[in-house]
Amino acid sequence: MKNLLYLIFLATFSLTACTGAAQKESTSNESSSVSYTIVSASEFKTALEKEENAQLIDVRTAGEFAAGSINGAKNYDFLNGTFQEKMATLDKTKPVYVFCAVGGRSGKASTLLKKNGFTKIIDLKGGYNAWPK
């Protein structure tokens, strides 16, 4: 019974964590050296293909990642408590391309990246669900 309750809680939390917060459009902030943008799937794909130093981060759960992801992405699960530890392995001077399922977790991850000194963050609007399969 405990396992069933835990699974229900985990499923509910996972679904609301990414759908509960809608992505907001942002542009780079001219008063700082941080560039944070939310772009469409086509813009994300084009920018990613042109970028030689891209760090592509999928912040969905391991199960979501295993079901399919963008080619070349690393899985830094935002919900399992290891995101900040893994974030520390990234190069702050190289662009970070981030996505989740629909945009909530990637928005939260982007906020942490900004607070920790990352200079260029590109967030996939609509998340992996918007990515062409």
Q: Which residue ranges make up each domain of the chain? A: 2-130
Q: Residue 86 burial (CB < 10 Å; 0-12/13-18/19+)?
A: middle
pTM score, whole prediction: 0.78
**122 neighbors 98 (Cβ within 8 angstroms):** yes
Each of the 133 residues of the chain gets a pLDDT tens digit; together they read 544 444 444 444 444 444 444 444 444 444 468 899 999 999 999 999 999 999 999 999 999 999 999 999 999 999 999 999 999 999 999 999 999 999 999 999 999 999 999 999 999 999 999 999 8
The phi, psi pair for 64, rounded to 5°, reads: -65, -45
Tokens of 36: 């944070």
* 2-130 to CATH, choices 3.90.1150.10, 3.40.50.720, 3.40.50.11240, 3.40.250.10: 3.40.250.10
Checking phi first, is residue 38 left (phi over 0); if not, alpha (psi -120 to 50) or beta?
A: beta
How many helices (H) and strands (E) the chain has is answered by: 5, 5
